[in-house]
Amino acid sequence: MLRRLIARLTQRGSPSDAEIERELRDHLELDAESLAASGRAAPSNARSAARRRFGNVSGARESVRDVWRWAWLEQLEQDVRHGVRAMLRSPVYSLAVVATLAMGVGASTTTYTIGRAIHTPFPQLPQDRLLWITYGNAGCGVDCTQLSPAGFAALQQRARSITAIGTYNVGTALRDPSGSEPVRGFAVSPETWTVIGARFAAGHGFPKDAGFEGGPHFVVLSYDFWQRRFDASPGAIDSVITLGEQPYTVVGVLARDLVFPTAADVYMPHRTTAAEAADHASRYLNVFARLAHGATIQQAAAEVRTINAQLVRESPKTDSGWVMRARPIAAYHTDDLATLESISDIAALLVFLAACMSAANLALARLSARRQELALRAALGVRRWRLARHLLTEALLLSLAAGALGAVLARWGVRSMRDAIPANFAAFVPGWARMGIDPHVLAFALGAAVLAMLAFALLPVARATRVDLAAVLAEGGRSSAGGGGGVHGTRMRATLIVLEVSIALVLLTAATLFARSVRNMTRGDAGVRLDHALVMDLTLPPRGSDSSRVDFFRRLDANLRDVPGIRAAGVGTTTPLSNNFSGTAFDIPGRAPQPDGRPLSGIGQHVTPGYLEATGVAIEQGRGIDERDVSGTQRVIVINRYMADALWPHTSAIGRVVKIGDSTWTIVGVASNVHHGGLDEEMRYTLYRSVYQAPRDFGVLAAWTSADPDSMRGVVRGVVARTDPSVAVGNMMTMEAMQARHVSPYTMMAGMMSVLAIVTIAIAAVGLYGLIAYGVAQRTREIGIRVALGAGRRDILANVGAGALRLTAIGIAIGVIGAAMFARLLTSMLYRVSASDPRTYVAVSLGLLVVALAAAWVPSWRAARVDPTVALRE
């Protein structure tokens, strides 16, 4: 049968035109011969006589050709028409199958597409040849910091298996006559573009002499920045733009979607100077490398280890205990997201399985209903092959309809996921912004759905056409035990229901755990003011002096104080919850060194007096930073509660001394704890100093407003511009939005899981309903007898309900085990809720049980109302 199907589909055996031609010519020749032989034509004109008799040769050839040409299409058309009729005959079944499969294809394609976007962070680069060099130690983690210029220079000069490049973040501002706009920039080694294999949308990389101190300034733009600021004009190349206060010549625009190492606007060349190369202490370089031709990542890793050991010998004071490691570049983005990726992959698979099972279940149910029809048709002489083809076409039509609808759903799903993600997350998942449906994934899901449907379409063929016709026909629709394939089918359907319930439980558990994380997070105390608070980045001209900066901060403070609608405002180094902070190493005189030899380190905040009040940080002990703390007076410092409790657990920290670099700072106050990283990160030591005593050239401005913070945006921007027009204001946002940035990945996961869980629960509930209803229909006679023999409605209800309960219970039991395994994967993504939280499991199980019982209630109730006189007469 299969061979014939293939032969048909490929039109194997179809003769070529030449072959047909030859056959017909042979005929003519033979005809001519026989005409001549029988004497009915003279040999000389036998040929033309034969041709006359034959008639139109090309007409005959065409009709032979048509036999082959249209056969396939004609039968297909017939089958399709038959299939469509069959679909329309049972619209509920068709709708249920299409909806179920479409949801499965849509949900799993969406989820899997997200996984793929996460998995391919550098779609434009040769990811398999690029490495990321991590730096860290046993205590803080393998990649807790960046390399020192000395470490980078060592890699650049000594490593043979790799070519290393370094980058570091540069916040600067683009100036034009209309004002200043902050831009995200990276200083990169001049040879970066060749090393990473970057392509350019316009122009080229840095010239050979770029990056020397005092030399001309060059800049490469990102594609997005080029589009946004230069309208993608080719004229941007070779034009001169002002960044900070320096003119830069634009030499190139990176290819679209090329993100390196995170989303940025501009790239400036930086060459590590000899003086820098001696610096082992500052760690600020993100180092990447390309494997030399023929080198393996193992060789590179070994060489990096060797160089690391040399560095430790050369500068033990700064480098001992620290480890460099070579890792694939994808790890730069995907380390934290690998879990997310596997979670979404597994969820996608589960939903897809549930959808296929459900479709199978429906197909099996329909088989029961159609056995008579099929048997009848077989008895009437419809060939089995023909019957199979009808069923296959029907299944194919259903799954194609489902696939089309699923593709639409997936398109919508991917779009809404893409828009749901906040900008900060998108910056770390470079593929996110342009995430689209991966055609391979969709094709795979579609193919799998079609195959699943075909498999379950063939099941009835194998069964229905082989069953004893007489038995099936005699049985009528009233079989009490579901003879023939019935028992088998029912058991299979029950198994599928059990599995669907367990998958629903797994997804519902995951959704609940994420939802609880979100709730814990939004309810949790971040330690800062979230409402009526506005924060923004300030970028000061880089060439200014310390005194000019101090002067700017003081005038800004004064100007903001008089603005109606602002309760308090101040400048700091980093915004709470921004996850954008730098460590300040410090020392406590007289304290024994850390057991691991690392220096103490905390978050350094350089603030103006109004900052702590503006962000809602409370002074719990001593005093805050105030107007007295200026250059020339005693250097003072305020530390957070966490630091005070950790370092001076038994005494007061006030009056103690902290050494930062070469200067000593006296602790005058203890402030309440604030999360500077994510809400889900652990607390860190925090050191607040006065910006007047420790000036910085960049900072953040925080304002506590009495009016709606959004309405104050323009006012605050105006005050900054009035104070100094060369200062750029960027990333202005409310603290609520800042918090949402942390919560949104969790909200996203919770939302995604909830949708998947609801889809699966709906699928399982429909399946359970169908199974029980079918069972009741089949048992109508039996129930009638029971009622006639005196069974009460309650007994019948219990009898039927018990079956549903049993299936659900088994499903829940399996599901709980599966959920526990799945939840272990989630652990790192949960916030203040345990992956094995018993309350969640109990609640989810009960919830699912209620849904299942509700689904089983309707058919059970119908069973209980069976009228014995009617049921028995039927």
Partner 1 sequence: MPRPDQRLELLQGTLDMLILKTLLFGPAHGHGIATSIRQATGDALVVEHGSLYPALHRLQRDGFIGARWERAPDRNRELKYYRLTAAGRRQLAHQESRWNELVRAIGRIMTPVPET
Chain positions 57 to 76 lying near partner 1, rule: CB under 8 A, are 59-60, 63-64, 66-68, 71
| Binding region for partner 1 (CB under 8 A) out of 16-24, 272-280, 423-431, 535-543 | 16-24
Whether 225 and 272 have beta carbons less than 8 Å apart is answered as no
Whether 749 and 829 have beta carbons less than 8 Å apart is answered as yes
Chain positions 760 to 779 lying near partner 1, rule: CB under 8 A, are none
Minimum CB distance to partner 1 smaller for 14 or for 282: 14
Minimum CB distance to partner 1 smaller for 26 or for 708: 26
Shortest Cβ 392–partner 1 spacing (Å): 19
Minimum CB distance to partner 1 smaller for 22 or for 488: 22
Minimum CB distance to partner 1 smaller for 350 or for 378: 378
Q: Which of 2, 13, 58, 91 binds partner 1 (CB under 8 A)?
A: 13
With binding defined as CB under 8 A, does residue 55 bind partner 1? yes
- Of the candidates 261, 223, 257, the one whose C-alpha atom is nearest the C-alpha of residue 130 is 261
Tell me how many residues contact partner 1 (CB under 8 A): 25
Q: How far is CA 72 from the centre of its chain?
A: 44
- Of the candidates 75, 69, 62, the one whose C-alpha atom is nearest the C-alpha of residue 14 is 69
Whether 851 and 508 have beta carbons less than 8 Å apart is answered as no
| CA-only gyration radius of the chain, Å | 38
Return d(Cα 315, Cα 154) in angstroms, integer.
12
Shortest Cβ 382–partner 1 spacing (Å): 14
| Binding region for partner 1 (CB under 8 A) out of 49-57, 268-276, 680-688, 771-779 | 49-57
426 Cβ contact list (under 8 Å, min separation 6): 263, 432, 433
- Of the candidates 610, 605, 614, the one whose C-alpha atom is nearest the C-alpha of residue 529 is 614
Shortest Cβ 45–partner 1 spacing (Å): 18
Shortest Cβ 460–partner 1 spacing (Å): 24
Taking each helix axis as running N to C, give the angle between helix 793-826 and helix 838-864, from 0 to 180 degrees, rounded to the nearest 10. Answer: 150
Whether 437 and 113 have beta carbons less than 8 Å apart is answered as yes
Minimum CB distance to partner 1 smaller for 58 or for 178: 58
Q: State the Cα torsion 350-353-354-355 to the nearest 10°.
A: 120
Q: How far is CA 372 from the centre of its chain?
A: 48
Shortest Cβ 463–partner 1 spacing (Å): 24
Shortest Cβ 13–partner 1 spacing (Å): 7
Chain positions 508 to 547 lying near partner 1, rule: CB under 8 A, are none
Q: Which of 5, 10, 17, 19 binds partner 1 (CB under 8 A)?
A: 19
Minimum CB distance to partner 1 smaller for 22 or for 199: 22
DSSP letter at 528 equals S
Which two structure tokens, joined as six digits, stand for 726? 């060369």
Shortest Cβ 454–partner 1 spacing (Å): 23
At which residue do the structure tokens 């107007």 appear? 627
User: Residues 29-48: x/- map of binding to partner 1 (CB under 8 A)?
Assistant: -xx--x--------------
Minimum CB distance to partner 1 smaller for 35 or for 855: 35
Minimum CB distance to partner 1 smaller for 68 or for 212: 68
Chain positions 571 to 600 lying near partner 1, rule: CB under 8 A, are none
Shortest Cβ 67–partner 1 spacing (Å): 4
Return d(Cα 516, Cα 526) in angstroms, integer.
17
Return d(Cα 210, Cα 225) in angstroms, integer.
21
- Of the candidates 489, 510, 506, 458, the one whose C-alpha atom is nearest the C-alpha of residue 354 is 506
User: Cβ–Cβ contacts within 10 Å for residue 774, how many?
Assistant: 20
Minimum CB distance to partner 1 smaller for 387 or for 433: 387
Q: Which of 21, 24, 262, 396 binds partner 1 (CB under 8 A)?
A: 24
At which residue do the structure tokens 């190369």 appear? 277
Whether 796 and 485 have beta carbons less than 8 Å apart is answered as no
- Classified as helix, coil or strand, 291 is strand
Per the omega criterion (within 30 degrees of 0), is the bond before 422 cis?
Answer: no
588 Cβ contact list (under 8 Å, min separation 6): 600, 647, 656, 657, 658, 659
Shortest Cβ 53–partner 1 spacing (Å): 8
Shortest Cβ 27–partner 1 spacing (Å): 5
Shortest Cβ 77–partner 1 spacing (Å): 16
Minimum CB distance to partner 1 smaller for 28 or for 715: 28
| Binding region for partner 1 (CB under 8 A) out of 13-21, 115-123, 160-168, 191-199 | 13-21
| Binding region for partner 1 (CB under 8 A) out of 27-35, 337-345, 458-466, 522-530 | 27-35
Task: Return phi, psi of residue 808, to 5°.
Answer: -60, -45
User: Residues 73-112: x/- map of binding to partner 1 (CB under 8 A)?
Assistant: ----------------------------------------
Tell me, what amino acid is at 77?
Answer: E
Angle at 137 between CA 574 and CA 578, to 5 degrees: 15
Return d(Cα 796, Cα 184) in angstroms, integer.
71
Side-by-side strand order, sheet with 728-734: 566-572, 698-705, 533-539, 728-734
Shortest Cβ 196–partner 1 spacing (Å): 59
Q: Which of 48, 56, 594, 836 binds partner 1 (CB under 8 A)?
A: 56
Shortest Cβ 391–partner 1 spacing (Å): 21
CA atoms within 13 A on the CB side of 823: 27
Minimum CB distance to partner 1 smaller for 36 or for 829: 36
How many helices (H) and strands (E) would you count in the chain? 27, 22
| Binding region for partner 1 (CB under 8 A) out of 26-34, 414-422, 531-539, 607-615 | 26-34
| Binding region for partner 1 (CB under 8 A) out of 7-15, 174-182, 503-511, 843-851 | 7-15
User: Residues 783-802: x/- map of binding to partner 1 (CB under 8 A)?
Assistant: --------------------
Shortest Cβ 103–partner 1 spacing (Å): 41
Q: Which of 17, 23, 238, 531 binds partner 1 (CB under 8 A)?
A: 23
Tell me, what amino acid is at 192?
Answer: T
Shortest Cβ 64–partner 1 spacing (Å): 5
Residues that bind partner 1 (CB under 8 A): 4, 13-15, 19-20, 22-24, 26-27, 30-31, 34, 54-56, 59-60, 63-64, 66-68, 71
